[in-house]
Amino acid sequence: MIRSNKTVGAVCLAAGLAFGIGHASAENLTVYWNAGHAYDTYADVIAEFEADHPGWTVQWEKFQWPDMRTKLVADLAVGNTPDLVAEPGGWVQEFAQQGLLTPLDPYIERDGVEMGYPDDWQEFAVNRNMIDGSYYGVQIHLTCATLVYNVDLLAEAGYDAPPTTWEEFREVAKATTGSGRFGFAPNPVPAYYWPWLFQNGADYYDPETNTVVFDSPEAAEALQFVTDLIHEDQAAPLPVAGADYEGPQRLFTAGRAAMIITGPWDVTPIRTGNPDLNWAIAPSLAKKEQATLAGGVSLMIPAAAEHPDEAWELLKRFVSLEAELAASKANGMTMPRKSWAKDPAVLDDDVLGRYGACLDYARDITAELRLTGKSAEIEQLLKTAIDETVYNNRPAQEVLSEYAERANQILAE
């Protein structure tokens, strides 16, 4: 149960009554959530909310991210919106610029001190949910992706430690390939390619010139490196195209991939999928610099939500420190609160501590591009460019330059 010294239910119920939440009639509170984050902790939070609000039912709908976006965009277009939405990063600023989200300033002005917002959140996790000084989302997970490896497979190939550089990584990937397994399993989702680009000194967007720079020689070299692992070295399989980002994790859990790059969202699937697997988390690789992508999930309330006050009350429960600690302990997920990062349960945990260390050099992928209001179009172009390079084995520099030109035409409009 998620309880604080002041019982969470009592505090939230009192605040809810201040907003006029009634108990006489039955109401549905619709929540859109990522299927991979449907943790028992959050189910407990929902159960407590329903217990404290007789007559209310939380309709907890779960999707993969691409499917959620398709449904959400359609819902927003017709005004048939959910009350609370979990988003994977970037949607808050995008939809807020279109006037599709509820500003949270009045709620935060009233409840912020008690809930610790924004002071107890990492600054990055606050800024990525703001537009023109106003709050439109609250971060619930703060994550990064780093190298995860099979200790036994590396040891069999003669390596007693994980690689730290690209050169070492390629060597280990080739050495651990064979007998129906691969040294590395790449992901079809474009975000998973950004650690490589960042490590080579590449960037996505230049706000001073309002142009994308993902066609730089450094970016092309990074994408070509991963492509060559697949086509030249045959040390990695072609990622399965589609919306499912879990493919590499499944290969790794089954012992068919020696290394993957992933975040805390895959900790529980690995643990439950193969309890006997001897695996570990390593610091991110480095070429020109050590770097990785930062991300995480935020919660937002659509402007057309039927029950915004109740959605805010449920949001507060989801992001409480008690819920953060319970969810991270059970699932290995990393969180945005500063007090969470300082908790002994986090500091003493091998998984949480290692992922927490990666947050020190993690970078947001599209923070500045999102402010243009055109990030969704640009990201789709980059996805197509990556797909053409990886699946069709076209030269990375040629493809990236082609799609960067299209992207800059959009930005210039």
CATH code of residue 388:
3.40.190.10
Instruction: Say whether both 25 and 167 belong to one domain.
Output: no
Instruction: Say whether both 138 and 150 belong to one domain.
Output: no
Whether 350 is in a domain gets the answer no
Instruction: Say whether both 105 and 43 belong to one domain.
Output: yes
Question: In the chain, how many domains are there?
Answer: 2
Averaged pLDDT, groups of 10, the chain, 413 residues long: 36 39 66 96 98 97 94 94 95 93 98 97 91 96 95 98 98 96 94 95 95 97 98 95 77 97 92 96 97 94 97 98 95 93 90 88 86 89 96 97 97 93
Task: Please report the pLDDT score of residue 241 as a whole number.
Answer: 74
Instruction: Say whether both 195 and 174 belong to one domain.
Output: yes
Task: Please report the pLDDT score of residue 366 as a whole number.
Answer: 82
Between β-strands 143-144 and 298-300, what pairing exists: parallel, antiparallel or unpaired? unpaired
Full residue range of the structural domain in which residue 155 is found: 145-292+369-412
Whether 361 is in a domain gets the answer no
Task: Please report the pLDDT score of residue 284 as a whole number.
Answer: 97
Instruction: Say whether both 96 and 233 belong to one domain.
Output: no
Collect all residues with Cβ–Cβ distance below 8 Å to 204 and sequence separation of at least 6: 194, 197, 212, 213, 214, 365, 366, 369
Instruction: Say whether both 22 and 111 belong to one domain.
Output: yes
Instruction: Say whether both 213 and 135 belong to one domain.
Output: no
Q: Could you give phi then psi for residue 117, rounded to 5 degrees? A: -105, 130
The secondary structure of 380-404 as a DSSP string is HHHHHHHHHHHHH---HHHHHHHHH
Angle in degrees, 0-180, between the axes of helices 8-18 and 40-52, rounded to the nearest 10: 50
Instruction: Say whether both 183 and 230 belong to one domain.
Output: yes
Whether 1 is in a domain gets the answer no
Instruction: Say whether both 115 and 176 belong to one domain.
Output: no
Instruction: Say whether both 138 and 165 belong to one domain.
Output: no
The half-sphere exposure of 136 on its side-chain side, counting CA atoms within 13 A, is 24
The CA distances from residue 49 to 188, 323, 332, in Å, are 37, 13, 24
Instruction: Say whether both 399 and 256 belong to one domain.
Output: yes
Instruction: Say whether both 394 and 405 belong to one domain.
Output: yes
